Amino acid sequence: FGTPRGPRRRYVLDAHPRAESGMVNVSLAALGYEGLEGYLLFREDTAVFATGNAGATFVHGGNSLQERVIPVLTVKRSRAQGKAHTAYTVEARKQKDVVGLRRVDVRVRVAPDDKGQLGFVVAKEVSLGIRAVGQAGVRSVVKDVSGPGSLREGTLRLPVGDEWTQVFFALESGSSEPVRVEVFHPEGVEQVQPCALEEWFEVDWRKAAGKPEEAAPDQEERALDWADALPEGPREVFRHLHAHGAITEAEVIRMLGSPRAFRRFSLGFEEHAAKVPFRVRIEGGVEGKRYVREGER
């Protein structure tokens, strides 16, 4: 090409886009170079240009355009980047104990704000565990599952979906005081919102831990924990029961403010009673109902 002083071994820098036979050209502007004008000319085959240096036998790089030119690239994202992981939410509901074991229904679903995720990015299953809320000394042991999912090495493995799985577990501690439980994701691999149940669960006393602990003299701090789960009116009624052991229908009406409020309280009594750490017996009489605290669950 021209004189031996013009070309390099692999390319020629020229001011014009020459259309020579067996050659291709590309402008420096098209490659994004700033402050330079002209064109790069390349051979179509694997041969090199003669440069007048007969001893130069080595040629760097391959023969493709990508290997001969270092392009200047600008990368733009056409839309906001999506989440790296799908978010999930755990749902749980308490069921009656079976053969001495606690029982809950559990399922894992895609979080409501993550419904737009593609199916292939949703995990096939999520690992779950059960723990006592705020009670590090209480040990939770999952015994069995019924329904979708499995139990592997003490860890629940539940598929993501709408079906419920029954989980049977035991709570063990040196204290027999009831506790609340939380279903959570122990591995921390997925984005899983845990589920804390409002109801209280009985704890099995472990013989190796010694005698069951006596109730602490000051129960007010613990009472506030369970009372916070109740609405304002029923909260005062059950606090009175906890402190005094009994309350009459007339006293409840007076505390709630009206007979209508008492009827609402009666309709929701079972739901409220499930959230307190003691049992309540209802006695009938001439003057109406009488609520009596029977003891710890």
Query: What's the confidence (pLDDT) of residue 241?
Result: 87
Lowest mean pLDDT segment, chosen from 117-131, 204-218, 259-273: 204-218
Out of 4-13, 124-133, 163-172, 254-263, pick the least confident.
4-13
Listed by start position, the domains of the chain span 1-75, 87-207, 220-296
Residues 6+ apart with CB under 8 A from 137: 173, 174, 175
Tell me the pLDDT of the chain averaged across its residues: 78
pLDDT tens profile 33-91: 888 888 888 877 767 777 666 665 656 555 555 555 665 566 666 554 444 468 889 99
- What pLDDT was estimated at residue 1? 53
pLDDT digits (tens, 9 = 90+) for 263-278: 889 999 998 888 888 8
What pLDDT is recorded for position 213? 47
For residue 278, give every residue at least 6 positions away whose Cβ sits within 8 Å of its Cβ, in sequence order, or none. Answer: 241, 242, 293, 294, 295, 296, 297
Instruction: Give the CATH architecture of domain 87-207.
Output: Sandwich (2.60)
**For residue 106, is pLDDT > 90?**
yes
Q: Which residues of 202-225 are buried (b: 16+ CB within 10 A; e: fewer)?
A: bbbbeeeeeeeeeeeeeeeeebee
Sorted by sequence, the CB contacts under 8 Å of residue 159 that are 6+ apart come out as 108, 124, 125, 148, 149
Class of the domain covering 220-296:
mainly alpha
**Residue 223 pLDDT > 50:** no
Residue 214 has pLDDT above 80, yes or no: no
Please count the other Cβ atoms lying within 10 Å of the Cβ belonging to residue 16: 9
Reply yes or no on whether the pLDDT at 165 is more than 90.
yes
Lowest mean pLDDT among 4-18, 25-39, 186-200, 282-296: 4-18
* Model pLDDT, residue 166: 94
126 neighbors 185 (Cβ within 8 angstroms)? yes
So what's the pLDDT on residue 217?
A: 45
